[in-house]
Amino acid sequence: MKVSVVICTYSMDRYDVFSECVDSVLAQTYDPLEVVIVVDGNDPVFERVTDEYGDCENVVLHCNDENQGISYSRTRGAEIATGDVVAFIDDDGVAEADWIAELAGVYEETDAIAVGGHVKPDWVTEKPDFFPAEFYWLVGCDERGFGEHMEELRNTYGSNISYRRDVFLSVGGYDENTGRKGDRHIQAHEAPVCIRIANKYGKGVIYNKEAVVHHKLFGYRGDFRWLVGRSFWQGYSKRIMDLLLPEASGDKNEYLGQLLLEFVPSRLRSLFREPSAPKMKQLVTIFVFTAAVGFGYLYGLIQSNNSLVSEPAVTDSRTDTDDA
């Protein structure tokens, strides 16, 4: 079974990180493997990619004519790919050597049509002591309580997910109205395609925790104000998803219940037993982030009479390709 790994990139700012990602995929123990690199409308980046990887065996390069966004680029990469399975990793992720072997093993041993893996946080700077494990989904990593090994989930995160290529393309791939593109902040672009797959084939994504990608978290992702803003836009995105795909409404609602009825009480008990400043900060942060998500959802509710894809500009210009 041939596996194609699609890696999309568009900026020169973190080219060294992108290179580390590509090198980790080229070093996979699995064979046969194809690597499809899609540069999203940046000619200087494509020229450098061509210089460094153009002569590599089983590497296919493509450059979009203009910036089209992560969803378009990933779908285009899947169309170009020739593998039976197409896997996706963010350009700031680093795969463990057996990542593809672990994903492929599930396809070979079961009737799975989509398989995802564990996304581990890799803090480039020191992890902020206020950051709660329950909100790693804000930065595209597996949060506390995400799922059990080999459990069937609606979807895993974008830096570690794969599909049978024919299945993925049969439902149209990723929705171009979701995912990152410039200032646009409609997140969670894995959800729509996985819901369409579930509706058509009756199956979800098998979660293999042994298939591991380390997702680099740069300093700004530990900035409290940035994370509050991220929470707001995640709430807004959830409202858009509820309108586009009502089937998506239950997933985060269930997690909210688990957060408030299980995780918060357990944190309170731990805080009373062994008080500490980080524990208190994380508990407060959970409520702040949850409130920001709620305000974002409310904003989306107010805006729901407008076009679903017409979004206000966002002032934060820092690049972030995650879709939690």
pLDDT (tens digit, 9 = 90+) per residue, 69-99? 999 999 999 999 999 999 999 999 999 999 9
Integer Cα distance of 57 and 243 in angstroms? 44
Q: Is the pLDDT at 321 greater than 50, yes or no?
A: no
Nearest-angstrom CA–CA distance, 175 and 150? 27
Tokens of 221: 């992702």
User: What does the alpha-carbon distance between residue 265 and residue 135 come to, in Å, rounded to a whole number?
Assistant: 16
Considering only 194-203, 216-225, 297-306, which range has the smallest mean pLDDT? 297-306
Q: Is the peptide bond before 32 cis (omega within 30 degrees of 0)?
A: yes
Question: At 206, is the secondary structure helix, strand, or coil?
Answer: strand
Query: Is the pLDDT assigned to residue 189 strictly greater than 90?
Result: no
> By the 8 A CB rule, do 130 and 281 touch?
yes
Mean model confidence pLDDT for the chain? 89
Q: What residue has token string 């305000």?
A: 295
pLDDT-based confidence at residue 186 (cuts at 50, 70, 90): low
DSSP state of 142: P
Q: What pLDDT score was predicted for residue 303? A: 81
Q: What is the mean pLDDT of residues 177-200?
A: 73
Beta bridge pairs of residue 151: 207
Query: Would you state the structure tokens that stand for residue 94, as one six-digit string?
Result: 């680093």
Residues in Cβ contact with 281 at an 8 Å cutoff, skipping those fewer than 6 apart: 129, 130
Q: What is the pLDDT of residues 20-34, one digit of tens each?
A: 999 999 999 999 999
Contact 156, 212 (CB under 8 A): no
Q: Residue 243: what pLDDT?
A: 78
| Interval 265-293: pLDDT, tens | 999 999 999 999 999 999 999 999 999 99
